[in-house]
Each structure stands twice: as C-alpha cells, then as structure tokens.
C-alpha cells in the first residue's frame, strides 16, 4: 500500500486539534495552520476535540481529504491514527502535548510553528508499524505492563500541566522505590516463555521522550515488527547501571533488559494481574494479546532539513 498524496496535488486538508493538550496552544496552532493554508491556496477544515468525543471519530470521513493534520499529545495522535489505519491518507503531526514521543519517533520537528509549515508542505510519507491490543486498540509507541502503567496512571493531567515532563520523572522515581517481580507467561510467535520481571513492554520505538533517552536504537517504528522488552531491575539492585544509562547513554545490559523480536503476535499473562498502558493511556489489565500491523499508517516527514 502506498500513500495517496504527499503534497504535489494536495487541495483539501483536515486538521484535528486538541485545545487542552500540553501547554494548551491549540488556538495558536489553528491560527498558524489557517494562515499557511491561505498562503498555499489550500482548503482547510479544522475540528477541535472535546471531552466527550474521541479524535478517531473526527476522521471518520477522512477519505474526503488529501491529508490529515493532528495537533495534540500522544493520546490525541494515537486516536487519529486509530481512525486512519489501513487507509492511504498521509498523516502530519504538529507536536502539542507534554511528551510528543510519537512525533519524535517519526522525525517531526519539535517547534510547533515549523511543524505547521511542514504539515501543509511537501513531504515523504513514511510507513509506520502499529501494534493492535486485544483486537481493539492500535498503538504506535508501546504497550507496557506493570511499572510504567502505574506511572502513567498516577501522572495526572493536573501534574502534567503544572510540571510538564518532570511529572513523569517524579512518579517514575516514586514507583521505582517499591517495585516487585511478577510472574509472566509469554507466547511470542508460538514460543512459550516463563519469566519473572518488574515490567514488560511491547515496543514499536526505542525513544522514550524524556531527557533524550532511548531504550535501544535498534527498535524502529518501520521495520515490520515489534519488540518484546522484559525488564529486571530495582534501584537498589541496579542503580549503577541505570545511572550509566541516564548519564552516558550506555545500553542497558542483558541482565536488566531482554529484547525479543515479535514478527506476528505476542500473548502475555501475569500473576498477579497487572495494569496495562498504551501510548499514555491506562487500559485495563492483563492478560493481553498484541498483533503486529506492518505499515498500518503513513506519517508525513518534511523534505526540508530540521534547523
């Protein structure tokens, strides 16, 4: 499958904007997009999200447009992606949230004004793989079980507005002090594993979105697979290793992180049951089934080099 248009003949663009994400610059982003669209002679339709409407429903008629632009946090971006899966409509991202990890992972420029220009200009539409959780919810970053899900759950919108990305770090430190191992039964493409771990991820990118950290540079969102990541660490047992990773960008050793490629699917059960988070949203508990969706969406990457 190839994208329908990358900008040369684009005429009609749909923009979905979350006015409450991150630093709440939605109105400013809408203004920038409108000004740029007018300059380029584009017909722009803007739809703001609401507390009662999922962004995925705002793109239900996306087939009428040449491109979709989304501005908001990772949750908003992922909702729009859920509405565009297996279509040929390119998606452009304007960072508007606290983390903006999806934007980082696919190479979107971090400056919102420049990202608006890129969103309505010529681009290369890059295929991005997705994971599908329990045949219900798609994700572009990662699905995590246990530790990170608890951190996500307790990093409230009020904390994010007040402290930004530091809110995640604070909750991460608090929960790291009280981690315990969990028994997991994992089926990876038909191979059964029994593991004890503090946390398990199914990742589509190694970029974490905090302090420029990357879990593993070999985890790519466009390699037609996902990566199962099994973590065994506590601050007391692995503090030196974690500090080396934080300060010197060294890889986490195999004693801390085990990474296994997932070509088709992975099933995960835990004792006791564990909370599950997907791209910043907490969604139920284990057991979980994740299926690989290669090239599920096309994301626009500017042909202009970042400054």
pLDDT along the chain (307 residues), means of 10: 62 94 82 96 95 91 96 92 94 90 89 94 92 95 83 66 65 62 95 93 86 80 96 60 53 75 98 87 91 96 64
What pLDDT score was predicted for residue 210? 65
Which pLDDT does position 307 carry in this prediction? 46
Q: Does domain 137-294 have CATH number 2.60.200.40?
A: yes
pTM: 0.83
The DSSP output letter for 306 is P
Q: What CATH number labels 12-129+296-302?
A: 3.40.50.10330
Cross-strand partners of 302: 123
Instruction: Indicate the angle between helix axes 112-119 and 26-40, nearest 10 degrees.
Output: 40
Tokens 């004890």 -> residue: 196
| Residue for token pair 């793989």 | 129
Tokens matching residue 147: 């530790």
Alpha-carbon torsion 21, 25, 27, 30, what sign? negative
Q: 119 is written with which tokens?
A: 């969103």
**For position 214, what pLDDT does the model report?**
77
Instruction: Break the chain into its structural domains and give their ranges.
Output: 12-129+296-302, 137-294
Q: What angle do CA 35, 39, 43 make, to 5 degrees?
A: 80
First to last CA, the chain: 31
| pLDDT at residue 91, as a whole number | 97
Give the model's pLDDT for residue 235.
54
At 138, which helix (H) or strand (E)? Answer: strand 137-139
DSSP secondary structure string for all residues of 57-87: GGGTTGGGSSEEEEEE-HHHHHHHHHHHTT-
- Give the integer Cα–Cα distance in Å for 241 and 186: 26
């Amino acid at each position: 499958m190839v994208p329908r248009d990358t900008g040369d003949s684009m005429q009609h663009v749909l923009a979905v904007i979350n006015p409450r994400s991150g630093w709440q610059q939605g109105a400013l982003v809408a203004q920038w997009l409108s000004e740029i669209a007018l300059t380029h002679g584009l017909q722009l339709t803007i739809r703001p999200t609401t507390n009662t409407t999922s962004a995925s429903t705002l793109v239900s008629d996306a087939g009428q447009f040449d491109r979709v632009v989304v501005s908001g946090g990772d949750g908003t971006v992922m909702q729009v992606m859920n509405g565009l899966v297996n279509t040929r409509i390119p998606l452009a991202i304007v960072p508007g949230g606290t983390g903006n990890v999806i934007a980082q992972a696919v190479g979107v420029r971090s400056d919102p004004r420049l990202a608006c220009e890129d969103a309505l200009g010529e681009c290369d539409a890059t295929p991005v793989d997705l994971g599908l959780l329990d045949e219900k919810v798609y994700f572009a970053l990662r699905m995590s079980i246990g530790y990170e899900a608890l951190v996500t759950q307790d990093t409230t919108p009020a904390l994010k507005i007040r402290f930004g990305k530091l809110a995640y770090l604070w909750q991460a430190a608090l929960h790291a002090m009280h981690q315990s191992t969990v028994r997991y039964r994992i089926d990876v493409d038909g191979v059964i594993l029994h593991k004890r771990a503090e946390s398990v991820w199914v990742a589509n990118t190694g970029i974490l979105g905090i302090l420029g950290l990357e879990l593993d540079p070999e985890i790519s969102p466009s390699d037609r697979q996902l990566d199962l990541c099994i973590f065994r660490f506590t601050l007391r047992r692995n503090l030196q290793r974690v500090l080396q990773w934080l300060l010197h960008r060294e890889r986490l050793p195999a004693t801390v992180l085990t990474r296994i490629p997932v070509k088709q699917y992975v099933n995960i059960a835990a004792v006791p049951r564990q909370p599950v988070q997907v791209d910043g949203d907490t969604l139920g508990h284990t057991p979980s089934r994740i299926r690989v969706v290669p090239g599920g969406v096309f994301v626009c990457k500017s042909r202009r080099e970042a400054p």
